Copies of this chain bind each other. A is one copy, B any other.
Amino acid sequence: MTGILQDRTVQRCIEDCLHCYRTCWSMAFSDNLQRGGAHAEPGHLSLMLNCAQLCETTARFMLSASTLHTELCALCAKVCGACAQSCAQLEGMEACEAACRACAQSCREVAGFELPGTFTIDQLPTTGVQGGPPRQGIMG
């Protein structure tokens, strides 16, 4: 085993990314779609599934000893932060929120900065869906 995979920070980040991937992905199907309503709002569900996908890709970059993983980790931290905040506004999403926050923190450490760093509501990206909710995960 060579390079970045020997780094403990990277090892924990891979763990956290894969945990966040499986939590977001499975909760999207098992909880959000079952509950419907705000839990299945397209902007929120898209955010959860894309967060899962990006976590998996970020883990894969580290697993393949890429040297381009730091910027991907920085972006992954941002998306996980947005997903955590979106989940925080819904009931029963504590596990997903926690997984996202842990992954965001690990990714920030690998990326080389450790800011407190979650979005405020105003910084959440807009959904871009015409006639839909203005921001990812915001219904009201």
Number of interface residues of A (CB under 8 A): 52
Query: Given A53-B57, A72-B75, A79-B68 in contact, is the A63-B29 Cβ separation under 8 Å?
Result: yes
CA distance A3 to B65 in the complex (A): 29
Query: Given A34-B129, A57-B57, A129-B34 in contact, is the A66-B78 Cβ separation under 8 Å?
Result: no
Closest to A125 in B: B67
CB neighbours (8 Å) of A29 from chain B are 42, 45-46, 63-65
Are B68 and A130 touching (Cβ within 8 A)?
Answer: no
Residues of A42-88 at the interface with B, using a CB-CB cut-off of 8 Å, are: 42-43, 45-47, 49-50, 53-54, 56-57, 59-61, 63-68, 71-72, 75, 78-79, 82
CA distance A110 to B67 in the complex (A): 24
List of 10 A-B pairs having minimum Cβ-Cβ separation, nearest first:
A67-B125, A33-B42, A26-B63, A3-B128, A29-B64, A57-B57, A50-B66, A67-B128, A25-B63, A1-B30
